[in-house]
Each structure stands twice: as C-alpha cells, then as structure tokens.
Amino acid sequence: MEVIDAIILGIIQGLTEFLPVSSSGHLELGKAILGDHSVPEESLLFTVVLHFATALSTIVVFRKDIWELLRGLFQFKWNDETQFSVKIIISMLPAVFVGLFFEEQLESFFGGNVRFVGYMLLVTAVLLYFADKAKDTDKKVSFKNAFLVGISQSIAMLPGISRSGATISTSVLLGVDKTKAARFSFLMVVPLIFGKIFKDLLGGELTFDGDNNVAMGAGFIAAFVAGLGACTWMIQLVKKSKLSYFSIYCFIVGLIAIAYGYFG
C-alpha cells in the first residue's frame, strides 16, 4: 500500500466514523477504487488500525465525559455513572460473542467485495429512513435497550452497515432521545476497539509487515487528525440533522457501489 493511499483511507475513516454512513463500508470502497488487493486479513488489520485511531480521537473529544464516568465508578456507588458504565458493558456482549466465535467469517467480508458493501449500505439507508420517522423523546438508554443496541452493533461489524447509524437508529426506534442515543453510540465502541487490539496483541495476530509500517502509520495519523475535527462538529450534525439526509446518501452510494461491483 502506498503512503498516499493510506492517508486518503485514513481521512475517509476519520470523516465517516462519526456519521451514519458506515466508515468500514467506505474504507472497503476506497480500497477497491485505489486498487488495494490485500488479502482479507491484511485489509482487516488496516481497518482495525484506523478504527483504533478514531477511538483515540473519540477519547480526546469525550475526555470530560469519560473522566466523569471514571470518577463516578470509583465512588463505588450505584450512581448514574456506574449504571451508564454497566450499560456500556451490556452493549458490548453481542459484539464480543461475534468477535470470539465468528472472526474468520467476518474477516472474509473485508476483501473488497464492493457489491456486498453496496447492498449493506441500502440496508443502512432503510434503517435510517424508519428511524427518522421516530418521535423525539427525553428517555435514557435502559439496560434492556443497551443489549438490543449491542445486537445492532454486532450486526454493524459487517462493512456497509453503519455502526453509528445502526446503534443510533435502534436507540431512537426504541424511544431513546437522539442526543443521548448519539452519546451512547460513540462511547460504547471505544472499549470494544481497545479490547480487540489487546486481544490481537496477546494472541500475536497483529503482526506488521515492515514494508507497510510507514503506510499504516501515515493512515493512523491521518485518521486521528481527521477524527478530532470530525468528532467535534459532525456529532452536532448527527444530533441536529435529519437522518433522512444520510439515508438518501447511503442509498445513492449503495446503488453506485452495486453498479461498480457488476460493471466496474
């Protein structure tokens, strides 16, 4: 992989991670367009590296929220912070299950299958369309909702299914306030990404080819920097804009991807 290609993909990751348009799907489309013919395992490795970068940018942007959560946890009381943290843990369970038992099957989808990404983007478009019709409320994420949102997050591990789109839409359809749904969506993925990195490091699965280290490093920096800016103003866009706009976007890009897969 060329350094310039890695930077482009890093910027794509940073810009699309916080919008309901599927960052992994856009990465796969970007790899296909740029001519990345990596085997699925290498392709997934680069995707994990970029997601790790945006997870760090999320921590920077939400540092005050995370600090308040940690302070509440160390009070060792059943307070709002402890309850929120437990909900995060509950939401992680489905994705952990998929990651432990279906990792090889999941990796097979990260090999530049443009048509598959296109079809999944259409699924995202439909989900966002129906979520846009949901009424605004002031409800918080409940423990039961946290698990259901976690199921949608595990399904969104497929490229083309927007993680933020799936989790925010599921929350909204369950009656959760959009602002609270967005906050929960962005925070719930951080421990999963770090857990994935830690697991692969211990298992020796994250091995970096010397020829690709520079490119991966460049992609990491690009995703981190782009993520810092995107997470600052795009979160507000998710909260204030109608999900139908993103639904239309995913529908158009999905059709283009399917056409590209057949005729490109």
pLDDT tens sequence across 58-105: 899 889 989 998 998 888 889 999 999 999 999 999 988 887 887 777
Amino acid 39: pLDDT:
43
d(CA 103, CA 98): 7
pTM of this prediction? 0.81
**Cβ neighbour number for residue 121 with a 10 Å cutoff:** 30
DSSP 212-250: THHHHHHHHHHHHHHHHHHHHHHHHHHHHS-HHHHHHHH
Q: Return d(Cα 230, Cα 17) in angstroms, integer.
A: 8
Q: Where are the beta strands (DSSP E) in 100-222?
A: none
The DSSP call for residue 78 is: S
Where do we find the tokens 């719930």? 188
Q: Which residues of 157-182 are buried (b: 16+ CB within 10 A; e: fewer)?
A: bbbbbbbbbbbbbbbbbbebbbebbb
CA angle 50, 40, 234 (to 5 degrees): 30
Radius of gyration of the chain measured on its C-alpha atoms:
18
> Is residue 41 helix, strand or coil?
helix
Low-confidence residues in the chain, pLDDT < 70: 1, 31, 34-44, 109-112, 200, 203-212, 238-239, 241, 264
Task: For residue 22, count CB atoms less than 10 angstroms from its CB and return exposed for 0-12, middle for 13-18, buried for 19 or more.
Answer: buried
- Tokens 């350094």 belong to which residue? 3
Burial of 25 (0-12, 13-18, 19+ CB in 10 A): buried
| Structure tokens that stand for 201 in this block | 């490091």
Count Cβ atoms within 10 A of the Cβ of residue 264 and give its class: 0-12 exposed, 13-18 middle, 19 or more buried: exposed
State the virtual CA torsion across 229, 235, 237, 240 in degrees, nearest 10: -150
CA distance 19 to 172: 15
HSE, side-chain direction, 13 A CA sphere, residue 183:
16
